[in-house]
Amino acid sequence: MAGRRRVVGALAGCALLLTGSAGCADRPSAADSSASAAVRGTLDRRATALLDRDRPAFLATEAPAPGATGRTADASAEFDRLRDVPLASWSYRLTALHRAGDHATAEAELSYRISGYDRAPITTGRALRLVRAQGRWYVASDKPAKDADQQLWEQGTVEVVRGAHSLVLGTGRPVDLLRAYARLADRAVPAVTGAWGSDWPERVVVLVPRSLDGMAGLLGSPASRYRGIAAVTTGETGAAGAAPADRITLNPDAYGVLSDVGRQVVLTHETTHVATRAHTSAATPLWLSEGYADWVGYRDTGRTPSQVAPELARSLAEGRMPAALPKDADFSFSGDASTLAQAYEGGWMACRLIADHWGTARLADFYRAVGAQPKRAGAVEEALRTVLGTTPESFTRQWQAYLRTRLG
């Protein structure tokens, strides 16, 4: 459905996974091993200071701008912006160092975990400038690397609201609003578990940036791509054992104008993506992943098919019956809005059909069976045969008949 989209972004792994760990991995790709070792030491001290909430030690890794204290002031603000974020780990891995006398530029991977929520770290590229004074290297700037996503704390002080099943992190938004979003997330988690089962962490992290531009910065894409989209879930698919760090990022402009029911449906939809992420793979078509998330989202709302699928209902009233289940291309946000809406609605109706005819448990089994296949070709066909005892042709005819019955 327009206004909700899941973006899948692979999250790189890190060797440092212990709670409270900090440090810098070996093997930098720099010619000057002495300078590399010294820079790694600076980054180690920086990471440890941040985890220990030690402001003087953190600022001791900073180099003020020549003749001024501007950079130290910026670093102090950066330290404060992260003050309330419950970090379990924070580490840098130096990947390249380019030195010119007492100045250097460095490329590094920053990996961090949020305590109680992330089983694997988020890893993001950083571009640093460093200066050497009195035999030690200091950080002159620390920014996202080219093509790397912005981090929430770079947009302002991070307000933290803890829910029963959620952690809401926001910048530039009223704390009362963040608390309201935490309540919605706390209702979403048990709703998803009730449909999917408990084989997921049963907790979510929700990011609430200041604006649409802030959301775009966090996702590393133009703001125009997310205009009108209420929320996006990021995480690595198909990694059942790793349970990486999923994030639900809200678009404060689009999400804020939704009704209470709409906000709950969106958060439950996105939370479903978090829960099903480990069983979603390249074999999973979008009609199933988005349709299932919509099915869970609307499950307890009392909304009728005609209310949830108005575009499909209109199409049927005009005598146009879909010839097949929605294709992945139909879910493009850059395409026709009616095609997009009908894609979401068609996927939702397909999942609703399975739940009504075969049962909710069988629907979850079908989702898992599709995602377990090694490739897209034949994945749905095999799951239809083994889980539902039907064929693609028979299921499509049954889906079309279900559309007529429920929407005609």
- Whether 6 is in a domain gets the answer no
- Whole-number Å distance between alpha carbons of 313 and 305: 8
Q: Domain for residue 88, yes or no?
A: yes
Structure-model confidence comparison of residues 287 and 65, the more confident one: 287
Last residue of a domain, one of 83, 113, 148: 148
- Tens-place pLDDT, residues 44-54: 999 999 999 99
Q: Which of 77, 245, 84 is nearest to 158 (CA)?
A: 84
Q: How confident is the model over 69-97, as a mean pLDDT?
A: 86
Q: What Cα–Cα distance (Å) separates residue 236 from each residue in 5, 147, 175, 338?
A: 15, 18, 30, 29
196 plus 266 within the same structural domain: yes
Burial track 220-247 (b if 16+ CB lie within 10 A, e otherwise): eeebeebeebbbbbbbbbbbeeebbbbb
What pLDDT does 2 receive?
31
Using DSSP's 3-state secondary structure scheme, residue 210 falls into coil
274 and 310 housed in the same domain:
no
- Pick the range with the lowest mean pLDDT from 57-66, 211-220, 388-397: 57-66
21 has pLDDT over 50: no
Cβ contacts of 7 within 8 Å, gap of 6 or more? 219, 232, 233, 234
Mean pLDDT confidence for 59-83 = 75
Q: How confident is the model at residue 66 (pLDDT cuts 50, 70, 90)?
A: low
- Here the CATH number for the domain that contains residue 62 is 3.10.450.50
Which pLDDT does position 281 carry in this prediction? 95
Give the CA distances from residue 67 to residues 62, 63, 139, in Å, rounded to whole numbers and listed in that order: 14, 11, 16
Q: Are residues 307 and 353 in the same domain?
A: yes
Question: Are residues 391 and 323 located together in one domain of the fold?
Answer: yes
- Model-level pTM? 0.87
Q: Which of 231, 249, 278 is the last residue of a domain?
A: 278
Burial string for 4-42 (b: 16+ CB within 10 Å, else e) reads bbbbeeebeebebbeeebbbbbeebebeeeebbebbbeb
Any domain includes 14: no
pLDDT at 243 over 90: no
The percent of residues in the chain predicted with pLDDT above 90, rounded, is: 80
Instruction: Tell whether 115 and 128 lie within a shared domain.
Output: yes
Please name the residues in contact with 173: beta carbons below 8 A apart, sequence gap of 6 or more. 159, 208, 210, 252
Residue 13's pLDDT band (boundaries 50, 70, 90)?
very low
- In this structure, the number of other CB atoms found within 10 A of the CB of residue 295 comes to 24
What is the number of domains present in the chain? 3
- Residue 329: CB partners within 8 Å, gap ≥ 6? 335
Structural domain of residue 51, as residue ranges?
22-148
> Do 27 and 132 lie in a common domain?
yes
Distances (CA, A) of 170 to 181, 195, 217, 249, 275: 10, 29, 14, 10, 22
Q: Give the pLDDT confidence score for residue 377 in this predicted structure.
A: 96
pLDDT of residue 70: 53
Domain membership of residue 182 (yes or no) is yes
Mean pLDDT for the chain overall: 89
Where are the strands (E) in 187-321, listed by range? Answer: 204-208, 231-234, 247-250
333 & 408 share domain: yes
Query: pLDDT by residue (tens digit) across 306-343?
Result: 999 999 999 999 999 999 999 999 998 877 889 999 99
Indicate whether 189 and 204 sit together in one domain. yes
| Residue 236 main-chain phi, psi, to 5 deg | -90, 130
The number of helices, as runs of H, and strands, as runs of E, in the chain is: 14, 11
Distance CA 56, CA 52 (A): 11
| 296 Cα distance to chain centroid | 18
